[in-house]
Every structure is written in structure tokens, then in C-alpha cells.
């Protein structure tokens, strides 16, 4: 059983294994004398006293092992030279100088701290050696340092993800707790800008020194607890963060209502924090960290890494692999690919060091011949199969990863969502370009501090802090809106009125208690005194936390404070005295129509009369005769249509068409005139002395407004003369000023906001009236500092109060029954008189019809007399000839009908003459009564021809006329037979 040969074989195999392992170890440390492979020296500077440094160290060793394990890469051997910076900047700088001067490293990985990396980058730029550092501070600029390659994501890349979380929960203010070092301060500008992009304010920045003791941390947390903000963003190293959360738990700041967000460095290194600290003091914290996709390669590598870590650091507690270790592995892998791309021919042999005397260490550094080649290859590289995911470097900067959002629960973390630059927050990460579900834009269920599932509001009124300082205006009038009194014994300030009552009801409607104190502010409005703008400005100077009362929301004030939703109606209008009773005026019959309408009607009467005269002059004897008669006929005929009293016959169809339209126009005008005059004479109305503000400017009237109001600026914007302004405080002063008028030391109008004018008219509704227009404003509101978290809650409470019965009760309490005065709400109409605008359509129709008829007549007339126009006479002679023809009566004697009519008329004349000689010829004809009208001697029949609007005869007259016509016909027949 104990064969000596077997024992010797086992010892021989063990010896060979030991020799092989030692030989391999010498190879990766550069101690091998084998010259068959080209050696590339790479410096590594890490803080081996930290867990992160050790994690990266093991990852680098495994990356080089994987590189050398590839048989095709035997021509190039990468030799790592590890140096420990011992968490000291000077040690890191010395290590870099040593590696560059004595080792002649072609590239350096590290250091891991930003302060250490800053100096090493300068060395790399000087000797043209690439510096691949996992430092995350954004103050280290890749653009300004050409030989710097960042092998990790900068801390600034996570700021948008954090801002998106804050936006998702509508938090308006946050507090940033950061390490007072270059690591902590580097993120502040980027985080502040990202939060401002979503209208969120960093209300306070709390700097914690790395050397701060527990008492200093506790005092800082106590200060934060006295503030309103309850959202904290923590950017600390794990060791300092552990102490902070322990003290936050003791301070009661890890309870319901608080929200904590930790940055990626702390989230990625949770494994390095004591599990007891996580379980006791960090429950409910949200964190962000780069997302590392799970893969079989990653699981296999993790097992190898854990085994190797136990081998290299057997006395260290087990540390888990983190993203910094994966980045280190991928960075070294990218470096090995760059070395392969450069090739063996480009890699120089070792050079002898410079032996010149009196040279400093920096002067003795030689410029690398291969560093620039490695840099060009690594500046833009991509590892699609990297352990950390898609390891993509562009222009020396690692491209952003999707961020994973986690919730710390129990001893570990639970994923609740993702954030990407393209899609923002999502519950699940979109893969392969597939669209997200409808509810994908929300995070998963989050357990907040205090084991609450209710989203923290983000702020609280601290019970141990100061009370809300509420500014209230003190003025001499309008006490229905606000009245401020101070108790002479206790000096306690009380405010009553419409505004304070609404404010107190809003406070009661809030889901939490808001203690407050009223602080009076005097409004006097003398040239050098204070007004409402000064009261609102006290918020920006932090003398007041809020302002209530009759404070109007305006665009100018909204620039430096935030207002709640308004709780009153909005608008600026004008109140003027009413006129006396116009029904006693002797000229009231002229008021139904405006002057321009009167003028237009008169002009159309003349125009229509002229058109009718032109159309009837040649064919109608009633429109002929002396010139005076013709001119009188023009005026008489058209004006007689106003009362339908004209008796003249018209013969032209064009005239009939014109008169049909004109009579309709006259009918409409007379009907409206009658209705308007009747309304004026029967209905007593309150008519304003001034109809609009422009009348005040034209007449130079004085204008009144309320003291301290912004209405003064509004009036100046309307081009009012500021010397015509007069300010008042009470309703009685308003009444006195309007009663006296501008000429007696008063004003012609009061310009104020609608709530005040409603109150004024409720008291003096029979003496004054409101005239337009109404200039829109936003109404009364409560003012708070910019981005105050109270504004949304107060606005919701205002809506709740306005929708309830309380608002009606409070209006009744302070302003009385608004229905008692029927005239106060009616905006005065500018005038009851009818204007030309109401009848433009009618006049247009009448004008077009009359003009068209006139043009048709002219065309026909000129066509009939075209032989005159065809002559060679001058234009004046042609016009004179045309005028003569127009003035001549048109000859219609050729018609057969007219000849027969003339014969019958002559016979009738003979018959009447014979009847006069011997009455028995017409024995049956009675004597002519006064009602019977005989022909005028022109031979025209008494029967009306053409268009006539004369009044018809009575039934008796028609009977008599018919009887006479029958008898006359029988007599005429007998005479003819004889």
C-alpha cells in the first residue's frame, strides 16, 4: 500500500505544479526573463485599504489572466505593476512618478479618488501616457485632459434620474446632503441645474465633513429637522453615510413623512455597509445605480472573483463584487484590445534611463512613444459583451447606462423601476425597441420610511420651529374686506373681515395644522409711504412667510411671489354718477336716433327723391313744370313717404321698384324710432354721466381710486394724466367725491376692482352706476414665497371652500344681501339711442336698388339717344343736347289707345256741354255733389294709374262713384245712338 514509487510520483507532480505556478506568477509580475514575447508595462494605482480598491484589484488580475489565457496573444505580454496609494494624494502622485520614470509604464489604471487622479492626469498629459481612472467627479474634464480616459460613469450622469424621481412625486423643494470634499462638491452644480429644470428648488445644502464627529452630524440633522423640507438627497461615501443614517434614525428623521434618496456611489456599495445599519436605519430609502444586466458570463465571473478574492485577501471579510469591479475588468479588457491593435512592431524596447545630473523626477520623465497610439485606440472603443453591459467609450468618456431605481427593504434592496435618457422613468426596462405598456411610466410599490406606502408630501410645518408669519394690510377703510386690531394689553393681533375669514377656513380645511401669527403692515399711500407692493415684497425679504387680505394677483407681483388660486371675482371697472330724468327734456324726441343716423336718413331722403324725379321727369306731368316746383317735388315726394302721405302717381316700373324698397326701409325706421321713444318716455333708467374711460381723458376729469391699490399703475398705462388722480380710503369718501364732481374738488369717476365697486354700489345703488369696459385681473389671492410647498395645498383648500356653502354665508355676513339693489349689477349701456350700425344693411339695400335703377335708366336713355352721341360735336355740345332731350316731355301720342281715348274724351265734353244747355238730356244724373271729382281738364281719367299710395275712398264714396259711372255710360250710349 505504501509504494515508494507512488509517493515519489506524487511529490514530483506537486513540485512541477509549484514551479509552474511560480513561473506564471513571475510572468504576470514582469519578473520573467523570457524575451520571446513583447512586454507591455501597465501601472495600477489603487487604495488597497478600501473595499473598492480591493474589488478592482481582483477584477484587474482576472482580466489579465483571461487575456494571457488566449493562446493567440502570446506575442504580447502585459505586465501589471501595482502600487498602493494608501488613501493619500501624495502617495498616489509618488506612485505615478515611479511608474512613469522607473517602470516606463505605457498606461496607468487609477487612481480611484478624484483628488489623486487630478495630479496623475497632468503627468499623463505631460508624458503622453493614457490615464484610465474610475474617478467619478465631473470636475475632472475629459475635454481639457486629452490623455484622460474615464473608466466609470461621472456622478453628474445620475442627476437627471434623481430629478425625474423628484418630479414623479411632485416635490417642490429638496435638501442636498453632500460630503465636504471634491467628491461631494463636484455634483452640486449639475444636480441643482437638473432640479431647476423641473422647477424644484434646492432649499438648503448641508455639507458634512469627512472628519465630522457624531455630535456635529447630529446638530446638522437637528437643523434640517427644523426646516419645512422633508426630501433629502444624500451624496456621501459609505462610511460617512452609515454614521449619518444612524443619527437620522435617532433624530426621528427615518419616520413617516420623510423621503431619502441616495446617489449611485452609495447605492452601488451597499454591500460594504454594515447590515445592521441598513436594517435599522436605512429602511425605505430610495437609491439609483447603473443597471448591470444579468448574464451567464457575469454569474461565472462572480464565482471566479469570489474565489480569487479569498485567496488574495484571506484576512478580509467577504466583499461582494460591485459595478466598479466590473468597470475595472472592462477597462483592462479594452486596454488589452488596444495593445493588440497597436501590435508588437509599434511597442518599443526598454530604454536606458537618462543619466544627466541635476534633473528632478519630473524632468527625467520620458515621453511615451506608444501612449498616443494606445490613446487613439481607447478613446473610441466598445465592448458589446462587457461584464457591466455595453461598455462604450466615446472621446474618452464612458457613455451613460440605464439607471436602476431600488428601494432598501430589510437587509437588501428591491428594484422598483428604471430610468433612461430616452424614456425617463419606467417600471420595466424596454428591450429590443418594444413599446412600453400604458402603466410603464410609474415606479413599483415603494415602502417609505416608517413602513408607509403613502408618498411623502415632501414638507411639513415643523412643530418645534417658528410659526407662519402672515402679513396683513392695515388701512383706514373697506373694513368689510379686512380690519386689523391689536389688543392693548396682550398686544395680540387679530384680523377680521372677508379675507381673514376665508384664510381661517382654508387653514381648517388643510389636512395638517399650520400655526400662524398675524403681522400688521400699515398702508397709507403718501408719496414716500408703503403700499400693497411693499407688503408683498416683504415675503422676498423673508420678513413674512405669507400675505393675506385684499391682495390682488398681478403679473408684476407674480414675478417674485407665488399666489394661490383666487377666491374673489376679477376685474377693474368704473363707477360714475347717474344722470337726471331726461323725460322732461324738450328735445327728447331727438334722442331715439344718434346724430349720424339722422344725417344718413336725411341724405337718403334727398337721394331717393332725386332718383324718383330722374325716373319720372320725362314721362310724368306731375314731375314737370317750373324748376322751383321740380326741386320742391324732389324734397316733398321722398319725405312724404315717411308718413305715406304722397298723392303723386308714378308710371315707371323702375320707380315702383325703388319705392317698394324705400317704403320698407321707412317702415323699419319709423317702427324702431317709435319703440325707442316709447321706451324713453315710459321706462325710467339710470343713465351714466360718462359712458367710458376715454370720455374722462377727453374731458380732463379727475379720477379716484383706492389708496395703496395697483389701479394707479393701470390708469397710468391707459394714458391718464397722473395729476388728475385722487385716492380715497372709504366708501363714504367715494360717495362724497362723486357727488361733488371734478369741478368742485371731487372726481368724475371711481376706478377700482369689482369687489370694492360691488360693495359701493350695494350701498349707493340709486346714485351711481357701473360703466364698461371691465379690465380683467386675477382677483384676490394669498401670497407665499416662490416655490413654497404650501401653495398647492392652499389652492386646493381654496377650491374646496369656494364650492361649499361657507362662501355664500361669508358673503352674506360681510356684504349683506346683494339682491337688495337691482341696478348695481347692471353694466350701464353707453346709450339707448339707435346707431347707424344697426341699419347699415337697410341703407345698403336701399342705396343699391336706387343706384341700380338710376344706372338702368341712364343706359336706356343713352341708348335711345345714341344718334346724339354719334355726332361729331364736342363733349359739351353732346351733353347740352342730351340735357335738352331729357328735359323734353316724352311723346306717347302715336298709340291707338290714346287716340280712342281722346275721341271719347271729346265726345264726353260735347255731352257735358249739351247737358248744360238742356238738362233733360241727362235726366237721371243727380246734381254734382262736393265729393264728386271731375277731370282736371287734361283729358285724364279719374281712375288712378300706376303706383299710388294715396288713401282709398270711403265705401260711400265708392258706391256713389260707381253709380255715377254707370249712369254716365248709359247716357253716353243713348247720345251716340241718337
Long-range contacts of 929-932 (CB under 8 A, 24+ apart): 929/960, 931/957, 931/960, 932/960, 932/961, 932/964
For position 587, what pLDDT does the model report? 65
pLDDT band per the 50, 70, 90 thresholds, residue 710: confident
- List 394's β-bridge partners, or say none: 397
Name the CATH topology of 468-569+786-814. D-Maltodextrin-Binding Protein; domain 2 (3.40.190)
For position 52, what pLDDT does the model report? 92
Phi, psi (degrees; rounded to nearest 5) at 189: -60, -40
Phi, psi (degrees; rounded to nearest 5) at 933: -105, 125
pLDDT band per the 50, 70, 90 thresholds, residue 561: very high
Least confident of 47-61, 140-154, 250-264, 806-820: 806-820
Segment holding 813, helix H or strand E: helix 806-815
Measure the CA–CA gap between 169 and 164, rounded to whole angstroms: 9
For position 427, what pLDDT does the model report? 87
Say if residue 711's pLDDT is above 90. Answer: no
Say if residue 258's pLDDT is above 90. Answer: yes
Residue 514 has a CB neighbour count (10 Å cut-off) of: 16
Mean pLDDT for the stretch of residues 940-967: 44
114, 127, 264 from 138: Cα distances, Å: 9, 23, 14
Say if residue 955's pLDDT is above 80. Answer: no
Mean pLDDT for the stretch of residues 652-657: 79
> pLDDT digit string (tens) for 393-447?
999 999 888 999 999 999 889 999 999 988 889 988 875 545 455 456 688 899 9
Among 96-105, 356-365, 383-392, 884-893, top mean pLDDT goes to: 96-105
For position 332, what pLDDT does the model report? 94
Say if residue 244's pLDDT is above 90. Answer: yes
Q: Please, what is the average pLDDT of the chain?
A: 79
For position 893, what pLDDT does the model report? 47
Tell me the CATH class for 158-293+403-426. Answer: alpha beta
Comparison of pLDDT for 181 and 956, the residue scoring more: 181
Comparison of pLDDT for 430 and 150, the residue scoring more: 150
For position 936, what pLDDT does the model report? 40
Q: How many residues does the chain have?
A: 978
Say if residue 278's pLDDT is above 80. Answer: yes
Measure the CA–CA gap between 857 and 611, rounded to whole angstroms: 10
Mean pLDDT for the stretch of residues 697-724: 85
For position 192, what pLDDT does the model report? 94
Closest Cα to residue 65, out of 359, 250, 370, 312?
312
Q: What percent of the chain has pLDDT over 70?
A: 77
For position 236, what pLDDT does the model report? 94
Mean pLDDT for the stretch of residues 650-673: 79
> pLDDT digit string (tens) for 295-326?
899 999 999 999 999 999 988 887 889 999 99
> pLDDT digit string (tens) for 893-940?
444 444 444 444 444 444 444 444 444 434 444 444 333 333 343 344
Measure the CA–CA gap between 874 and 863, rounded to whole angstroms: 19
| Cis check: omega of the bond before 111, within 30 degrees of 0 | yes
Least confident of 215-229, 306-320, 449-463, 661-675: 661-675
Q: Are 471 and 538 in contact (CB under 8 A)?
A: yes
Tell me the CATH class for 574-579+686-777. Answer: alpha beta
Comparison of pLDDT for 271 and 614, the residue scoring more: 271
DSSP calls for 525-582:
--TTS--HHHHHHHHHTTS-SEE-SSPBP-TTGGGTEEE---SS---EEEEEEBP--G
pLDDT band per the 50, 70, 90 thresholds, residue 385: confident
Among 310-319, 408-417, 625-634, 843-852, top mean pLDDT goes to: 408-417
Q: Are 669 and 601 in contact (CB under 8 A)?
A: yes
For position 361, what pLDDT does the model report? 60
pTM over 0.75: no
Say if residue 967's pLDDT is above 60. Answer: no
pLDDT band per the 50, 70, 90 thresholds, residue 965: low
- List 494's β-bridge partners, or say none: 485
Domain boundary assignment for the chain: 38-149+294-351+364-388, 158-293+403-426, 468-569+786-814, 574-579+686-777, 583-682
**Is domain 583-682 in CATH 1.10.287, yes or no?**
yes
For position 10, what pLDDT does the model report? 57
For position 948, what pLDDT does the model report? 43
Q: Are 390 and 383 in contact (CB under 8 A)?
A: yes
Long-range contacts of 28-34 (CB under 8 A, 24+ apart): 28/61, 28/64, 28/65, 28/68, 28/79, 28/80, 29/79, 29/80, 29/81, 30/79, 30/80, 30/81
Domain 468-569+786-814 and domain 574-579+686-777 have a common topology: yes
Segment holding 333, helix H or strand E: helix 323-342
For position 5, what pLDDT does the model report? 58
DSSP calls for 370-420:
SHHHHHHHHHSEEEEEETTEEEEEETTEEPPPPEEEEEEETTEEEEEEEEE
pLDDT band per the 50, 70, 90 thresholds, residue 7: low
Say if residue 11's pLDDT is above 90. Answer: no
For position 966, what pLDDT does the model report? 58
> pLDDT digit string (tens) for 525-545?
555 567 888 899 999 998 999
pLDDT band per the 50, 70, 90 thresholds, residue 683: low
For position 596, what pLDDT does the model report? 81
For position 827, what pLDDT does the model report? 43
Segment holding 806, helix H or strand E: helix 806-815
Helix ranges (DSSP H) in 555-652: 595-616, 627-640
Among 242-256, 387-401, 619-633, 691-705, top mean pLDDT goes to: 242-256
Which overall architecture, per CATH, does domain 38-149+294-351+364-388 show? 3-Layer(aba) Sandwich (3.40)
Instruction: Look at residue 887 and give its three-state secondary structure.
Output: helix
For position 464, what pLDDT does the model report? 54
- List 939's β-bridge partners, or say none: none
Among 84-88, 597-601, 621-625, top mean pLDDT goes to: 84-88
CA dihedral 672, 673, 675, 678 (to 10 degrees): 170
Mean pLDDT for the stretch of residues 566-582: 80
Say if residue 18's pLDDT is above 60. Answer: no
N- to C-terminal Cα separation, the chain: 188
Mean pLDDT for the stretch of residues 343-372: 61
Least confident of 15-19, 458-462, 500-504, 755-759: 15-19
Comparison of pLDDT for 796 and 819, the residue scoring more: 796
Which residues lie closer than 8 Å to 268 by C-beta, 6 or more apart? 289, 290, 322, 323, 324
Say if residue 132's pLDDT is above 70. Answer: yes
Pairing of strands 483-486, 493-496: antiparallel
> pLDDT digit string (tens) for 770-794?
887 888 888 899 999 987 888 888 9
Amino acid at each position: 500500500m505504501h509504494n515508494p514509487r507512488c509517493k515519489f510520483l506524487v511529490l514530483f507532480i506537486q513540485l512541477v505544479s509549484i514551479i509552474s505556478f511560480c513561473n506564471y506568477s513571475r510572468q504576470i509580475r514582469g519578473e520573467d526573463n523570457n524575451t520571446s514575447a513583447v512586454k507591455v508595462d501597465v501601472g495600477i494605482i489603487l487604495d488597497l485599504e478600501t473595499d473598492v480598491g480591493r474589488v478592482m484589484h481582483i477584477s484587474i488580475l482576472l482580466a489579465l489572466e483571461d487575456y494571457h489565457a488566449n493562446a493567440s496573444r502570446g506575442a504580447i505580454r502585459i505586465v501589471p505593476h501595482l502600487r498602493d496609494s494608501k488613501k493619500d494624494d501624495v502617495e498616489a502622485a509618488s506612485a505615478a512618478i515611479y511608474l512613469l520614470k522607473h517602470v516606463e509604464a505605457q498606461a496607468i489604471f487609477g487612481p480611484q479618488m478624484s483628488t489623486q487622479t487630478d495630479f496623475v492626469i497632468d503627468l499623463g498629459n505631460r508624458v503622453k501616457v493614457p490615464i484610465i481612472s474610475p474617478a467619478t467627479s465631473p470636475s475632472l474634464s475629459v475635454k481639457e485632459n486629452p490623455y484622460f480616459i474615464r473608466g466609470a460613469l461621472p456622478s453628474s450622469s445620475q442627476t437627471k434620474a434623481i430629478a425625474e424621481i423628484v418630479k414623479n412625486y411632485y416635490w417642490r423643494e429638496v435638501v442636498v446632503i453632500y460630503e465636504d470634499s471634491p467628491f461631494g462638491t463636484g455634483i452640486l452644480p449639475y444636480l441643482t441645474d437638473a432640479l431647476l429644470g423641473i422647477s424644484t428648488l434646492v432649499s438648503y445644502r448641508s455639507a458634512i465633513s469627512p472628519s465630522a464627529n457624531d455630535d456635529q452630524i447630529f446638530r446638522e440633522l437637528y437643523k434640517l429637522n427644523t426646516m419645512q423640507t422633508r426630501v433629502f438627497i444624500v451624496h456621501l461615501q459609505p462610511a460617512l453615510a452609515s454614521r449619518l443614517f444612524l443619527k437620522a434614525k435617532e433624530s426621528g428623521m427615518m419616520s413617516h413623512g420623510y423621503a431619502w434618496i441616495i446617489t449611485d456611489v452609495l447605492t452601488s456599495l451597499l454591500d460594504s455597509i454594515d447590515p445592521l445599519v441598513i436594517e435599522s436605519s436605512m429602511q425605505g430609502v430610495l437609491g439609483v445605480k447603473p443597471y448591470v444586466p444579468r448574464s451567464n458570463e457575469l454569474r461565472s465571473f462572480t464565482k471566479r472573483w469570489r474565489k480569487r478574492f479569498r485567496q488574495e485577501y484571506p484576512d478580509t471579510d467577504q466583499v461582494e463584487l460591485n459595478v466598479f469591479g466590473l468597470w475595472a475588468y472592462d477597462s483592462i479588457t479594452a486596454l488589452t484590445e488596444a495593445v493588440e491593435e497597436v501590435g508588437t512592431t509599434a511597442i518599443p524596447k526598454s530604454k536606458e534611463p537618462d543619466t544627466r545630473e541635476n534633473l528632478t523626477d519630473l524632468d527625467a520623465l520620458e515621453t511615451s512613444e506608444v501612449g498616443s497610439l494606445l490613446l487613439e485606440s481607447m478613446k473610441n472603443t466598445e465592448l458589446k459583451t462587457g461584464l457591466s453591459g455595453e461598455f462604450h467609450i466615446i472621446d474618452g468618456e464612458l457613455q451613460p447606462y440605464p439607471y436602476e431605481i431600488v428601494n432598501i427593504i430589510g437587509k437588501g434592496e428591491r428594484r422598483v423601476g428604471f430610468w433612461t435618457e430616452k424614456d425617463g422613468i419606467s417600471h420595466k426596462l424596454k428591450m429590443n425597441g418594444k413599446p412600453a405598456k400604458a402603466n410603464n411610466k410609474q415606479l413599483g410599490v415603494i415602502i417609505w420610511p416608517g413602513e408607509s406606502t403613502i408618498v411623502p408630501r415632501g414638507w411639513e410645518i415643523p412643530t418645534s420651529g417658528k410659526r407662519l408669519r402672515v402679513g396683513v394690510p392695515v388701512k383706514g377703510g373697506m373694513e368689510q374686506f379686512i380690519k386689523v386690531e391689536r389688543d392693548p394689553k396682550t398686544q395680540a393681533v387679530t384680523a377680521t373681515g372677508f379675507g381673514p375669514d376665508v384664510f381661517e377656513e382654508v387653514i381648517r380645511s388643510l389636512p395638517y395644522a399650520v400655526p400662524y401669527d398675524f403681522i400688521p403692515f400699515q398702508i397709507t399711500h403718501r408719496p414716500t409711504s408703503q403700499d400693497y407692493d411693499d407688503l408683498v415684497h416683504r415675503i422676498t425679504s423673508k420678513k413674512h412667510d405669507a400675505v393675506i387680505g385684499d391682495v390682488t394677483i398681478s403679473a408684476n407681483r407674480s414675478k417674485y411671489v407665488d399666489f394661490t388660486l383666487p377666491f374673489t371675482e376679477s376685474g377693474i371697472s368704473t363707477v360714475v354718477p347717474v344722470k337726471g330724468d331726461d323725460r322732461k327734456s324738450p328735445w327728447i324726441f331727438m334722442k331715439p336716433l344718434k346724430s349720424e343716423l339722422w344725417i344718413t336718413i336725411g341724405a337718403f331722403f334727398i337721394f331717393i327723391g332725386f332718383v324718383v324725379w330722374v325716373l319720372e321727369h320725362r314721362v310724368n306731368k306731375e314731375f314737370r313744370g317750373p324748376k322751383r316746383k321740380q326741386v320742391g317735388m324732389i324734397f316733398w315726394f321722398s319725405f312724404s313717404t315717411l308718413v305715406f302721405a304722397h298723392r303723386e302717381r308714378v308710371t315707371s316700373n323702375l320707380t315702383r321698384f325703388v319705392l317698394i324698397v324705400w317704403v320698407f326701409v321707412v317702415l323699419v325706421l319709423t317702427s324702431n324710432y317709435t319703440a325707442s321713444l316709447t321706451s324713453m318716455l315710459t321706462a325710467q333708467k339710470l343713465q351714466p354721466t360718462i359712458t367710458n374711460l376715454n370720455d374722462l381723458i377727453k374731458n380732463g376729469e379727475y379720477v379716484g381710486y383706492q389708496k395703496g391699490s395697483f389701479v394707479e399703475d393701470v390708469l397710468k398705462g391707459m394714458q391718464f394724466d397722473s395729476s388728475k388722480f385722487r385716492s380715497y380710503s372709504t366708501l363714504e369718501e367715494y360717495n362724497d367725491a362723486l357727488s361733488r364732481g371734478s369741478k368742485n374738488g371731487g372726481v368724475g369717476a371711481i376706478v377700482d376692482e369689482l369687489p370694492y365697486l360691488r360693495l359701493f354700489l350695494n350701498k349707493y345703488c340709486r346714485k351711481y352706476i357701473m360703466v364698461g369696459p371691465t379690465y380683467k385681473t386675477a382677483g384676490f389671492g394669498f401670497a407665499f414665497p416662490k416655490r413654497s410647498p404650501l401653495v398647492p395645498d392652499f389652492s386646493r383648500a381654496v377650491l374646496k371652500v369656494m364650492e361649499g356653502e361657507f362662501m355664500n354665508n361669508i358673503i352674506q355676513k360681510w356684504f349683506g344681501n346683494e339682491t337688495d339693489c337691482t341696478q348695481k349689477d347692471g353694466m350701464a349701456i353707453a346709450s339707448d339711442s339707435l346707431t347707424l350700425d344697426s341699419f347699415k344693411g337697410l341703407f345698403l339695400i336701399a342705396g343699391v336698388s336706387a343706384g341700380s335703377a338710376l344706372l338702368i335708366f341712364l343706359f336706356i336713355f343713352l341708348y335711345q339717344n345714341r344718334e346724339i352721341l354719334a355726332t361729331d360735336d364736342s363733349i359739351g355740345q353732346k351733353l347740352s343736347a342730351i340735357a335738352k332731350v331729357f328735359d323734353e316731355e316724352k311723346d306717347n301720342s302715336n298709340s291707338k289707345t290714346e287716340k280712342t281715348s281722346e275721341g271719347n274724351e271729346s265726345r264726353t265734353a260735347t255731352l257735358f256741354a249739351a247737358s248744360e244747355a238742356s238738362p233733360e238730356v241727362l235726366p237721371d244724373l243727380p246734381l254734382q255733389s262736393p265729393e264728386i271729382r271731375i277731370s282736371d281738364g287734361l283729358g285724364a281719367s279719374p281712375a288712378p294709374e300706376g303706383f299710388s299710395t294715396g288713401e282709398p275712398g270711403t265705401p260711400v264714396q265708392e258706391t256713389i262713384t260707381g253709380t255715377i259711372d254707370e249712369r254716365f255710360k248709359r247716357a253716353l250710349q243713348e247720345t251716340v245712338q241718337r
